[in-house]
Structure 1
Amino acid sequence: MHPIQSSMRAFRSYGIDTPQEFVAKLTGYNSSLAQGRPSTVSGVGSTLQLTLPATVNWTSLGYVTDVKDQGQCGSCWAFSATGALEGQIYKKTGQLISLSEQNLVDCSGAYGNQGCNGGWMNSAFNYIRDNKGINTAVSYPYEAINGACRFNSANVGATDTGFVNIAQSESALQNAVATVGPLSVAINAGLYTFQLYSGGIYYDKNCNPANLNHGVLLTGYGTSSNGKAYWLVKNSWGKSWGQEGYIQMSRNRNNNCGIASAASYPTV
């Protein structure tokens, strides 16, 4: 079966027929929580390295857990947040620990997050900081529903001390992902061309960078053999989507899909 036909069949198995339904059921980034976000915080966003590697791939270096699947729950923000924290914990300790998205879905409502109805990665980082940790995925498995909070301090897999926002430019984003590690980013995933992506470097001139609706994990960047620059992004729609769950998104093309508009990472 052609990859696009396979993707369409998979999405329709969720009862999804339009891009609008797709965004409502399978994304979940709440841009209203990010209002007032500073455009730059700390040296990461404002002081650029003079020389950066031509290619960065944190997945190949062991910083990134396997592709996960948020299911029919608007919890992308939780997957983006855990991915960024998993990377920072690996960088600090050398241990790759899969963290619990369900913990965030069930327990971070006081920070403005709404479980399967949407949330914000930075609110998740604040919850984890104040809660003194997040449980491991093994101890608090994902269910793709809103549930009662079952956090157990005996099963903490990681914690953080806050977060850093990245300046809203692709050059600052490149600097940050090259020097810090995997980053939480928000993008516009509202077009069929994105939803049915199956390979290559994604670009759609109609992908409005101001319409952020999906949280994902930026894991690197590179340039194709024919000279096209791309961002390497881990999605949370399972391995059957895209390139084994990943997408290469156009880089340095006027912030296409808004990838540089709301990037951050947790401090540990």
Structure 2
Amino acid sequence: MRIFLVFGYLCFLKHKILASDVNNKNVTESEYKNEFEIFKNENNRKYLRNDDEFRSFKAFEENYKIIEKHNKNFQEGQTSFRLKPNNFADMNTDGYLKGYLRLIKSHTEEGADNIAEIVGSPLMTNVPESLDWRNKGFVTPPHNQQTCGSCYAFSIAESISGQVFKRTGKILNLSEQQIVDCSVSHGNQGCVGGSLRNTLNYLQSTGGLMRADDYKYVSRKGKCQFVSDLSVVNVTSWAILPAHDEQAIQAAVTHIGPVAISINATPKTFQLYSDGIYDDPMCSSASVNHAMLIIGFGKDFWILKNWWGHHWGESGYMRIRKGVNMCGVANYAAYAIV
């Protein structure tokens, strides 16, 4: 009788272990689906066809596995930043690259640039170890460029707004849509993409930039509706900083204000960035495809503002390793002179 009871208990235990394995697998699959539902609700994501939703779910599942693996490495101290299922979590790499990274090459020669005279000047000797323009009051909305490749417009407009704030203490929200619609005359291509250099050339030529309230952002290119009488900022000229010179960028951010930069946003870790100091050795500095704004720095990192909404990064911001030209952050940095 005792042998029978022991045998029965072992059979029960084996069944329980097997059932547990199956349940764990089901729970895992269920968790991905639950996380996908949360993602859809948080990002107001709707899909027109079942096939679209299925493909998006499969991309989400793949990205979620990458996030889990990376964040485990973070917990073990192997990396300095985390990932999360942000608003790009349902996109595969191809959809992300084609949909959001639209920085293009300028149609003008680089020799025509106005090189900023910062290196070797007194400005270089009076630079703090850390600075954050947000702490001084320069806090602007978490803009979302949406499916329009207008990063170039946001970066320059916010850089100008930062200079106005430095001089007046007031935040002036300027029209990115004006740049999207009107700078095609200087080589930009609306929502297909543009460059910082083309944008600066356009603003210097046209002379003014309207308020965002008077020329609202609609995330698509339209007919140019610039009204000179409603211009609130005039761009007299512009300058770029010496390539690959992060000390010059630090001096410019300190003494001039937030600076527009170009960057390589290609890696999956960039797409799914959550928080921490971004430091992916696979992020090449050889080429750039996105524009952001440097609004400050710490001892070993830059603080960048992005245009992908508050769900991406640190509420729309990113910290990235300083001093190693991470992702080409120092390849091309520029600002308008107002």
TM-score (norm. length: structure 1): 0.89
* Contact 2:150/2:191, CA 8 A, preserved across alignment: yes
Q: Could you tell me which residue of structure 2 aligns to residue 101 of structure 1? A: 176
Q: Could you tell me which residue of structure 2 aligns to residue 123 of structure 1? A: 198
Q: Could you tell me which residue of structure 2 aligns to residue 111 of structure 1? A: 186
Q: Is it true that 1:183 corresponds to 2:254 in the alignment?
A: no
* Contact 1:39/1:166, CA 8 A, preserved across alignment: no
Counterpart CA distance in 2 for 1:7 and 1:37 is: 41
Q: Could you tell me which residue of structure 1 aligns to residue 296 of structure 2? A: 220
Aligned pairs (5 A) from 1:14-163: 16-18=91-93, 20-33=94-107, 36=110, 41-47=115-121, 49-163=124-238
Letter of the aligned partner of 2:335 in structure 1? Y
* Contact 2:106/2:187, CA 8 A, preserved across alignment: no
Q: Is it true that 1:245 corresponds to 2:316 in the alignment?
A: yes
Superposition deviation, residue 145 in structure 1: 0.7
Counterpart CA distance in 1 for 2:240 and 2:314 is: 28
Letter of the aligned partner of 2:221 in structure 1? N
Aligned residues: 259
Counterpart CA distance in 2 for 1:92 and 1:241 is: 30
Aligned pairs (5 A) from 1:165-204: 165-168=240-243, 169-204=245-280
| SS of alignment partner, residue 262 of structure 2 | strand
Higher helix proportion: 2
Q: Could you tell me which residue of structure 1 aligns to residue 29 of structure 2? A: none
* Contact 2:301/2:320, CA 8 A, preserved across alignment: yes
Q: Which has the higher contact order (CA 8 A, sep 6+)?
A: 1
Structure 1: runs of 5 or more not aligned: 224-228
| SS of alignment partner, residue 219 of structure 1 | strand
Worse-superposed segment, 194-203 or 41-50: 41-50
Q: Could you tell me which residue of structure 2 aligns to residue 226 of structure 1? A: none
* Contact 2:132/2:295, CA 8 A, preserved across alignment: yes
Residues 30 and 95 of structure 1: CA distance in aligned 2, closer, same or farther (over 3 Å): same
Letter of the aligned partner of 1:190 in structure 2? T
Counterpart CA distance in 1 for 2:270 and 2:152 is: 18
**Aligned residues: CA RMSD:** 2.3
Superposition deviation, residue 56 in structure 1: 0.8
TM-score (norm. length: structure 2): 0.71
**Cα deviation per residue 1:218-249 (whole Å; 9 max; x = unaligned)?**
001003xxxxx100000000111000000000
Structure 2: runs of 5 or more not aligned: 1-34, 40-62, 65-82
Counterpart CA distance in 1 for 2:315 and 2:107 is: 31
**Cα deviation per residue 1:76-106 (whole Å; 9 max; x = unaligned)?**
0000010111011222333311011111100
Superposition deviation, residue 37 in structure 1: 5.2
| SS of alignment partner, residue 139 of structure 1 | coil
Q: Could you tell me which residue of structure 2 aligns to residue 11 of structure 1? A: 88
| SS of alignment partner, residue 235 of structure 2 | coil
* Contact 1:64/1:83, CA 8 A, preserved across alignment: no
